[in-house]
Structure 1
Amino acid sequence: MPNLMVLGLKFNNFRGGLPLSLCHLTEIQILDISMNKISGTIPKCLNNFTSMRIKPDSTKLDNFISSSVYQDRESALIMWKGKDEKYDSLLGLVKLIDFSSNNLVGEIPPEITSLVGLIALNLSRNNLVGPIPHDIGRLESLDFFDLSKNNLSV
């Protein structure tokens, strides 16, 4: 499913590692596997998520907001800052990864910093260790960023 844009698998009691087949989801914009029992490391191939490597186009956002007749059949219910939010017409601009509340270990792969289009990254409540990637500041579009409840160092 290389054209898949939304994959929501939270609260499924999944176990085991993240499958490397995730690396083939080049068009993925929303990847939520939170609140499972996933173990292992975060794959370095996250930089294959081509859609997340593109910064949001502010003119596109302005056009969406100012358009009085924008119809789009795509919608998703997304957990955003602790609340379920429904995204309809702006869904194409939402780019997020939520791996929170699992049993992930190891370091945050530096490849994650190539996903400059991300607006939300939640890796909280895992067992991640090591330093936060030094060029995490490249993720200028982030509106929500949570690394809490890990064992990270500076």
Structure 2
Amino acid sequence: MGGIPNSLCNNTNLRILDISHNSITGTIPQCLGKLYGMANSIDVGGPDISHNFDEGMVQVLKVVALEYKETLSFLIKMDLSIIKLVGEILVQLTRLHELVGLNLSNNYLSGRIPEQIGEIRASILSIFY
């Protein structure tokens, strides 16, 4: 058991963060709001990552399944569900405007949902706690 390490935030071009269903505890690090690849439209450069997967990828949040084949490089998601997080939903997460999916469900989060959460363009937003 342990918290989400701040060193994770050094991966500025991170586009998919899925640490769900783990024995992680603690609060959401403020530095997650500085993940450049989730906050800005970026040219990932190099080879198109969608060609690295023959089958593509299926993202499942709650009961909705979204399939990405040709557009895998556009998938930007953060899944922090079912990991025993405590504290508030940080306003810093609302800076991640490019998120397609954000899942914070099944944690022990408290407080109010930040008003700025509507600035995220996520098509799937699951924050129930």
Give the TM-score, by structure 1 length: 0.70
- Structure 2 alignment gaps of length 5 or more: 43-49
Task: Find the counterpart in structure 2 of residue 59 from structure 1.
Answer: none
- Tell me, yes or no, if the aligned pair for 1:31 and 1:98 is still in contact at 8 Å: yes
How much has 1:147 moved relative to structure 2? Answer: 1.1
Root-mean-square deviation over aligned CA pairs:
2.3
The question of 1:100 aligning with 2:81 is answered yes
Moved more, 94-103 or 71-80: 71-80
How much has 1:77 moved relative to structure 2? Answer: 3.7
Moved more, 112-121 or 84-93: 84-93
Residue-by-residue CA offset, 1:93-141 (whole Å, 9 max, x unaligned): 00000000110000111110110000100000000001111211111x2
Task: Find the counterpart in structure 1 of residue 21 from structure 2.
Answer: 35
Alignment of 1:55-70 (within 5 A): 55=41
Q: Count residues in correspondence.
A: 121
Task: Find the counterpart in structure 2 of residue 127 from structure 1.
Answer: 108
Percent identity at matched positions? 37
- Of Structure 1 and Structure 2, the greater strand share is in 1
Residue of structure 2 aligned with 1:44, choices 11, 30, 35: 30
Letter in 1 for 2:2: G
* Aligned counterparts of 2:103 and 2:13: Cα–Cα separation in 1: 19
- Tell me, yes or no, if the aligned pair for 1:25 and 1:48 is still in contact at 8 Å: no
* Aligned counterparts of 1:39 and 1:78: Cα–Cα separation in 2: 27
* Aligned counterparts of 1:97 and 1:16: Cα–Cα separation in 2: 19
How much has 1:36 moved relative to structure 2? Answer: 1.0
Give the TM-score, by structure 2 length: 0.82
- Tell me, yes or no, if the aligned pair for 2:57 and 2:72 is still in contact at 8 Å: no
Larger RCO, structure (CA 8 Å, separation 6 or more): 2
Residue of structure 1 aligned with 2:5, choices 19, 23, 26: 19
Q: Secondary structure at the match of 1:27?
A: coil
How much has 1:88 moved relative to structure 2? Answer: 3.4
The question of 1:142 aligning with 2:128 is answered no
Letter in 2 for 1:124: S
Q: Secondary structure at the match of 2:105?
A: coil
